Amino acid sequence: MKDLSTYRNIGIFAHVDAGKTTTTERILKLTGKIHKIGEVHDGAATTDFMDQEQERGITIQSAATSCFWNDHRLNIIDTPGHVDFTIEVYRSLKVLDGGVGVFCGSGGVEPQSETNWRYANDSEVARLIFVNKLDRLGADFYRVVGQIKDVLGAVPLVMTLPIGIEDEFVGVVDLLTQEAWVWDDTGNPEAYEVLPVPEDMVDRVAEYRQQLVETVLEQDDDLMEAYLEGEEPSIDDLKRCIRKGTIALDFFPTLCGSAFKNKGVQNVLNAVVDYLPNPTEVDPQPEVDLEGNETGEHAIVDPEAPLRALAFKIMDDRYGALTFTRVYSGTLKKGDNVLNTYTGKTERIGRIVEMHADSRNELDKAQAGDIVALLGMKNTQTGHTLCDANKPATLEPMVFPDPVISIAIAPKDKAGAEKMGVALSKMVQEDPSFYVETDEESGETIMRGMGELHLDIKVDILKRTHEVEVEVGEPQVAYRETITQRIDDTYTHKKQTGGSGQFAKIDYIIEPSEVGAGYEFESTVSGGNVPREFWPAIEKAFAQSMEEGTLAGYPLLDVKVTLTDGGFHAVDSSAIAYELAAKAAYRQSIPKAGPQLLEPIMKVDVFTPDDNVGDVIGDLNRRRGMVKAQEAATTGVRVKADCPLAEMFGYIGDLRTMTSGRGQFSMEFSHYAPTPNNVAEQVIKDVKERKAAS
């Protein structure tokens, strides 16, 4: 049996451009996995092996790799930072035991960092913080630490302090040992000396070390007592308390450095080994039944226990589909038959491989605590549980956000149609936040996703990876509808033909419910005017009708239907009759209830140089945006606003023009809000024209 105490399953996550991939590269170099360091900006990083990643210099897929440090095995997953690929981060965090949050020393806590941090909080992942790029102009370690407190509401436990800043950044002071690690200018990560603390930093080091000791000792009352009596705790005692507090999420050890210049990465690796949990120290995954209710059982990390594994990512490469899987308990062997609880079918494990970015080592088996890739899985998708067929159980199901933007695509030639279908079904398997459907009326293929860039990359993957040329339509916004008034109404469905007829009468109230409540149904019928067994049929019929609104055919949100009374016939009433009555009632009443078009509002976060703030705000106002806040950053201003998605197409090009290429922005879906009348009229008119044309 493997010694799991030497395992660390960690993810590296951060905002776009904070240096995650570069940090991963340095870790691989230090641990001897690679001998030449690849650079992101040269398009040669090891973990960014997709063409699209190398060109754009961003990570799209989470790449998995493993290496060794101080006799500990690290399974590392490098996750994307771009908002459109957050789903990758979410998925990765689900299966990790610990994480390293990378923050840019000059940019600080950026919008995407907040989202990722929130996800990590939801998944209760213990993390370290690495403040990177301290060699950059405008870098300020202490400011970033302040932002982590204020913006993320987290407790950073400062473990290292920078020596020098910007161009003069040469190394870090380790507060535990009170030693200075100073690197030379060669860029070799191993070329450092351990020196005494520089004189000009002695007071600051003493202040921060005192803070560190006092925070940490709260984890152990006996040590705290001894400390208050003047006894200095040993470094081993401090490390033990830091580990305890980190795993309990009481604080987050915070380190600093510059991954690009190879300074400070060893300290991060040491901290991963010293403070992040091994698979046995994390709360075991709860098991759920097929309805999603917890059974009270847990997947205990034990190779002898029944098999429980979670597929958290599907990736298609030149060898076929790879199913990345985290084994929570039991052992997975080559040739085993395992049960997929989602499909209810058994699958045979073809090959098990250990990944290092895009190369692989064959394995005969994997056991609790391992992260491996499986080849030859037919029906397994992201979020599916693989388990022992004799003792089935499901690990918690994953929830994915709804897409907010769609585009129509068509193959350029007839021959590409079949090819496109195959490629799209592969891509849907890989990415659950990406949907493909066929429009029934027009027969068009519609792609739906989380943002413009998300769909842009999908079209690119179609072209490059699958060699399918497609024509792309205008992006379409996923509007919704709702109602604004309460309607008391009644409807009777009667049909008399030879033999038994149909009869159903319902009295009902349709009214707006609270924002975000979705569809609610209630029955207050007393007596047997509408027998109880027919209520589900009425509820279901209204729910189905809500899929299509009366204004422009978009789904209806936040509506409550109350069944108040009705009529019943002993022979002629049936579930079908009540279903037809409810559908007709919907068509009768919704147009009278003040229907309203809703549009998706995005939370937009724009970074702009000081000189262009006025232009950026003016432009957001023209786009019907509501500016919420402005925050001064070191190199410019962050403008936060709520903006309708419909107005944000092509925004990146306009922003770059306004700011001479220096502006950046990110956006994520926030909520639905009423569409102004003039815009709503235009949308309804366009929908009608599209329907007429098809």
Residue positions forming the annotated binding site for GTP:
14-21, 78-82, 132-135
Q: How far is CA 600 from CA 304, 513, 623, in A?
A: 49, 18, 14
Q: Which amino acid is located at 370 in the chain? A: D
Largest CA distance in the chain: 103
> Between vectors from CA 663 to CA 662 and to CA 667, what angle results, nearest 5°?
150
At residue 244, the 3 state secondary structure works out as helix
Reported as type and span, the H/E element at residue 303 is: none
User: Could you tell me if 197 and 144 are in contact, meaning their C-beta atoms sit under 8 angstroms apart?
Assistant: no
> Which amino acids are annotated as binding site, given as ranges?
14-21, 78-82, 132-135
User: Could you tell me if 643 and 512 are in contact, meaning their C-beta atoms sit under 8 angstroms apart?
Assistant: no
Nearest Cα to Cα of residue 9 among 354, 398, 364, 396? 354
CB neighbourhood size of 366 (10 A): 26
Sequence-distant contacts of 427-430: CB under 8 A, at least 24 apart? 427/458, 427/461, 427/462, 429/314, 429/316, 429/321, 429/381, 429/382, 430/313, 430/314, 430/315, 430/316, 430/382
Exposure string over 296-321, b if 16+ CB within 10 A, otherwise e: ebbbbbbbebbbbbbbbbbbbeeeeb
Q: How far is CA 83 from CA 60, 450, 661, in A?
A: 10, 8, 20
Pairing outcome for strands 502-512 and 470-472: unpaired
Q: How far is CA 79 from CA 96, 317, 360, 536, 561, in A?
A: 12, 18, 19, 44, 43
Q: Which amino acid is located at 309 in the chain? A: A
At residue 360, the 3 state secondary structure works out as strand
